[in-house]
Amino acid sequence: MKILVVHNRYYYRGGEDTVVDAEVSLLRAHGHQVRLYSRDNNELSHLSRTHTVLSTIWSRQTERDVKDICADFAPDIIHAHNTFPLISPSLYGVAARLQIPVVQTLHNFRLLCPQAMLLRQERVCEACVGHLPWRAVAHRCYRNSYSQSVVTVAMLAAHRLRGTWRKQISRYIVLNQLCRDKFTQGGLPLERMRIKPNFVESVRAPQWEKRQGGMFIGRLSVEKGIGILAQALTHLPEIRIDVFGKGPLQNLVTQSPGLRYGGFQSPAQLTRRLHDAAYVVVPSTGVESFGLVAIEAFACGTPVIATRHGGLAELVVHGKTGLLVAPGDAADLACAISWAEANPAAMLTMGKAAYAEYLTRYTPEHNYDLLVRIYREAIAELLTFRPDKTRYVENRLGR
């Protein structure tokens, strides 16, 4: 197949960016032709406010770029990841006019919640789920900004009323059962959703000796719970957790005595450290749709201490592959970390179970089969509307 992958990269590199790069590599390794169209949020510093507002709702640049790519590359399918804010939903309009099926991975809850993580004032909030998200303007949910919240809500409302989400996307990829239920509640068509978790590649088998200490990997921001972790460690003055990443709360990390800041490191460096850690802490206060770092830990045989909500509650089995704690509860998190430090043999057993879970569900091979099956469904559905493409589609599907 010829696949056009589309992704708006974040200012701070995160799990979505990692997933996109991994899927592109996976598809190319299996012989598919893949072209990547990406834009980067660093562009925003060079754009006027008016241009940014208009482009968030409908990007003329994306419209031109994607038309040109499709004319040159002739993709069989478009796989969209993040389109906010620079790519915009104009992508779907172009694909519809060209009659190219679109598969959309829903990495977060942006289509339901302008803040994207069902979070307000560090508490879970579902006020906009299933409704036009005007409440997000009243509460300034997006970046605590009235104007930016207005723009985000305008984009979501305009395309909801236009029918973009219902009419112009052939298949939605959701990461777990919780996401499928939440997006169905929010009005997306259940029959177009397919569950496919993220994956990581294991570079080597885990070692089970000389593991010690905990670590945090991720964006240093409120929704990732780094502040809750800092609070938890005030109850455990003898424990230090290694922190890797960057983000707006970096100063909080460097000033917290319980956190040992290791900066931003490459994936290879982080993998080496994961193989040496006794556990990974994922204290997200926002509702994670998946939690890629948990799977990265599993692939290294490292158990996870995570919050008991969102995708993390489906990934981590309490007492088997890690420990679950109440979201936003620093005292509960402190108890779990203390228990992990006091019971290294039990954590080692959980790590072995986590690695077994990885081998069963989160390898590249398993993921590739799921992904291509979804592509085939979306392409084959085109026959209903374009009988003239029968031979073309059959050739692409190898039937």
Listed in sequence order, the DSSP H helices in 248-323 are: 250-255, 267-276, 292-299, 310-315
Among 298, 117, 282, 129, which residue's Cα sits nearest to residue 202? 298
- Say whether both 280 and 183 belong to one domain: no
Which residues, at least 6 apart from 391, have a Cβ–Cβ distance to it below 8 Å?
A: none
Residue 305: predicted pLDDT = 98
Residue 345 lies in a domain: yes
Say how far apart CA 61 and CA 46 lie, in whole Å.
Answer: 15
> Total structural domains in the chain?
2
Residue 283 to residues 226, 257, 258, 312, 330, Cα–Cα distance (Å): 7, 18, 15, 10, 9
- Say whether both 385 and 355 belong to one domain: no
Residue 199: predicted pLDDT = 95
- Say whether both 17 and 91 belong to one domain: yes
- Say whether both 35 and 57 belong to one domain: yes
Tokens representing 139 are 């509460």
Residue 213 CB: number of other CB atoms within 10 A? 16
Regarding pTM above 0.85, the answer is yes
Among 214, 225, 347, 337, which residue's Cα sits nearest to residue 280? 214
pLDDT by residue for the chain (399 residues), tens only, comes to 999 999 999 887 888 999 999 999 999 999 999 999 999 888 888 888 899 999 999 999 999 999 999 999 999 999 999 999 999 999 999 999 999 999 999 999 999 999 998 988 878 899 999 898 999 999 999 989 999 999 999 999 999 999 999 999 999 999 999 999 999 999 999 999 999 999 999 989 999 988 999 999 999 999 999 999 999 999 999 999 999 999 999 999 999 999 999 999 998 999 999 999 999 999 999 888 888 999 999 999 999 999 998 899 999 999 999 999 999 999 999 999 999 999 999 999 999 999 999 999 999 999 999 999 999 999 998 766 555 555 444 544 444
Helices (H) and strands (E) in the chain, counts: 17, 14
Tokens representing 291 are 């939690």
Residue 388: predicted pLDDT = 57
Residue 207 lies in a domain: no
Residue 384: predicted pLDDT = 64
Residue 84 lies in a domain: yes
Among 45, 95, 21, 32, which residue's Cα sits nearest to residue 65? 95
Residue 174: predicted pLDDT = 97
- Say whether both 135 and 256 belong to one domain: no
Residue 209 lies in a domain: no
Residue 204 lies in a domain: no
Residue 203: predicted pLDDT = 83
Residue 271: predicted pLDDT = 94
Residue 383: predicted pLDDT = 67
Residue 280 to residues 168, 236, 248, 288, 303, Cα–Cα distance (Å): 40, 16, 21, 16, 6
- Say whether both 57 and 161 belong to one domain: yes
- Say whether both 177 and 255 belong to one domain: no
CATH of the domain at 69: 3.40.50.2000
**CB-based contact 318:346 (threshold 8 Å):** no
- How many residues are given for the chain? 399
Q: Where are the beta strands (DSSP E) in the chain?
A: 2-9, 33-40, 77-80, 102-105, 119-120, 123-124, 171-174, 193-195, 214-217, 241-244, 259-261, 279-282, 304-307, 322-325
Radius of gyration for the chain, computed over Cα atoms and rounded to the nearest angstrom: 21
- Say whether both 246 and 341 belong to one domain: yes
297-306 burial, b if ≥16 CB within 10 A, otherwise e? bbbbbbbbbb
Residue 121: predicted pLDDT = 84
- Say whether both 193 and 53 belong to one domain: yes
For residue 335, the enclosing domain spans: 214-361
Residue 15: predicted pLDDT = 83
